[in-house]
Amino acid sequence: MRDIDILKQKLGKRAGVNEVLSKYCFLRIGGPADIYFEARTTKEFIKVILLARSHNIPVTILGEGSNVLISDAGIRGLVLTNKANEIEILDKATKKERNSAVTPRWESDSKVGTFKYEFKDLDYDESNYPRVKVKMESGVILPQVIDFLLKKKVTGLQWYAGIPGTIGGAIFNNIHGGTHFISEVLEYVRVLDKRGKSKKLSINDLGIDYDKSRFQESGEIILDAVFLLYTGDVNKAMYVKKEWAKRKSLQPRNSPGCAFQNLTQKQKTKLGFPTTSVGFIIEHKLNLSGFRVGDAAISKKHHNFVVNEGKATAADYLTVVKEIYYKAKEKLGVTLVPEIFFLGFNNKEVGEFRSQESLSLRKTRKLEIKKAYKNSKKLFSKP
């Protein structure tokens, strides 16, 4: 019997396949995994990972399926989702640290249609409020915990309202909401390392950067984390959360997320554009509104999203993304950098997005973001 069949047998009836996996991909497309399994507790999560490793079966951790595109060929090995969702409010913190200077990343101009892509008017500084520690398992759903904590008069996560995903995924990507990164309020993360050992990593050990953490390369798996949040102005946080979610509602749910990272400041200045927003560029400069291949189409609500309007395949989606990519090169002389992760694809299919030029632009964008923050040393790890 093959190792993959032995693992299926050991996991029992709860081991699913494509029908289960597909509902966690927001694009609702993508091929099957060899095995799909939902762990209900952190203990079970660890047990299943170690069991798969003992049979030399690769493990892919999938949160709520946002920011990923799964190949029509599927994902080999085990795809595992952590449903462990305990939240514990710990002691109040005495130290004030990991605060960010509030310096807007985006430029807004309602006259030329960029405002809908941006949020700087909602920003404010919470650094003078008392801190409180909150422990969360990596399977906690981000929108749910924001509501839960606001009811408990705990603020600091309102910037991420309207962003689907889990706490583990948020840390993995160091997600941003306007001028804020989730690394601002992280204290430490507990992980399962490659040797199967549990260990704690402080914020300074996480390799935090713009849309990046060490976990994208280290092979370590996030189990839980302690956050340093605020006992702040709940009414103000509630307003921001509602307004943020309202603007985020422009962002379609039948999509994996933003297709491309925003331009660098150098690209914006060279082109003389009013914003770095790729959504603005696709809509107003590339004139690709409504472009589609099969059932994969550029959204008219937010043009940096490619949506599934029926039975789109991953190949359809990729063709639309490449049309945007090559049109930007041809018409504007600009190389766009994808923001989503491609799972199950080979270099022949997505090689242009992994080129040295793309890596260089990612690095430039990260450096620009760091310079926008006076306290960036507290936000991001050393290079």
Q: How confident is the model at residue 371 (pLDDT cuts 50, 70, 90)?
A: low
- Give pLDDT tens digits for 188-225: 999 999 999 999 999 889 988 777 899 998 999 999 99
Mean pLDDT of the chain: 83
d(CA 189, CA 226): 6
Q: DSSP letter string over 108-134? A: --GGGT-GGG--GGG----TTSPEEEE
> Comparing 10-24, 103-117, 298-312, which segment has the lowest mean pLDDT?
103-117
Output the CATH code of domain 87-249: 3.30.465.10
| Cα–Cα dist 200/121, whole Å | 37
What pTM, to 2 d.p., does this model score? 0.81
Please name the residues in contact with 48: beta carbons below 8 A apart, sequence gap of 6 or more: 11, 37, 39, 78, 80
- Pair of tokens at residue 234: 């709940």
What is the pLDDT, as a whole number, of residue 76?
A: 86
Work out the pLDDT band at 226, boundaries 50, 70, 90: very high
Look at residue 250 in the predicted model and tell me its pLDDT: 67
In whole angstroms, how far apart are CA 343 and each of 1, 66, 189, 215? Answer: 27, 12, 25, 16
Q: What is the pLDDT of residue 172?
A: 94
Q: Which of 170, 156, 89, 158 is nearest to 127 (CA)?
A: 156
Rg of the Cα trace of the chain? 21
DSSP state of 162: T
Please tell me the least confidently modeled range out of 31-35, 116-120, 126-130.
116-120
Domain residues of the chain, as ranges? 3-82, 87-249, 265-353
State residue 100's pLDDT score. Answer: 38
Give pLDDT, residue 144: 94
Residue 14 C-beta-side C-alpha neighbours within 13 Å: 10
pLDDT at residue 49 is higher than 90? yes
Within 10 angstroms of residue 301's Cβ, the number of other Cβ atoms is 13
Q: What is the mean pLDDT of residues 158-162?
A: 89
Band (29; pLDDT cuts 50, 70, 90): low
pLDDT, one tens digit per residue, over 246-260 is 777 767 878 888 899
At which residue do the structure tokens 């933003």 appear?
Answer: 258
pLDDT at site 98: 47
Q: Is the pLDDT score of 125 beyond 90?
A: no
- Owner of token pair 């400069």: 285
CATH hierarchy code of domain 265-353: 3.90.78.10
Distance (Å, rounded) from C-alpha 87 to C-alpha 256? Answer: 27
Predicted pLDDT at 1: 62
* Higher pLDDT pick, 58 / 180: 58
Backbone phi, psi, residue 250, to 5°: -65, -20
Please tell me the distance from the alpha carbon of residue 203 to that of residue 379, in angstroms, as a whole number.
9
With a cut of 90, say whether residue 319 has pLDDT above it: yes
Is the pLDDT confidence value at 156 over 70? yes
Asked whether 258 and 339 are in contact (CB, 8 A), the reply is yes
Q: Quickly name the fold that domain 3-82 has.
A: 3.30.43
Angstrom distance (rounded) from CA 118 to CA 116: 6
Contacts of 185 (CB under 8 A, 6+ apart): 98, 156, 157, 227, 228, 229
- Using 50, 70 and 90 to split pLDDT, how confident is the model at 17? low
- Whether residue 114 is predicted with pLDDT greater than 70 in this model: the reply is no
- Cα–Cα dist 76/344, whole Å: 8
- In the chain, the percentage of residues whose pLDDT exceeds 70 is 83
Q: What percent of the chain has pLDDT over 90?
A: 45
pLDDT over threshold 80, residue 24: no
Residue 28 has pLDDT above 60, yes or no: no
Least confident residue range of 70-84, 105-119, 124-138, 345-359: 105-119
* CA–CA dist 45, 100 (Å, integer): 34
**Rounded Cα–Cα distance for residues 336 and 72 (Å):** 24
Asked whether the beta carbons of 213 and 172 are under 8 A apart, the reply is yes
Q: What share of the chain is helix, strand, coil (3-state, %, to 5)?
A: 40, 20, 40
Which tokens in the block code for residue 345? 């694809």
Which is more confidently placed, 376 or 196?
A: 196
d(CA 263, CA 90): 40
pLDDT in tens, 260-304: 988 888 888 889 998 888 999 999 999 999 899 999 999 988 899
Residues 121-146: what's their mean pLDDT? 92
Residue-level pLDDT at 31:
67
Least confident of 104-113, 306-315, 331-340: 104-113
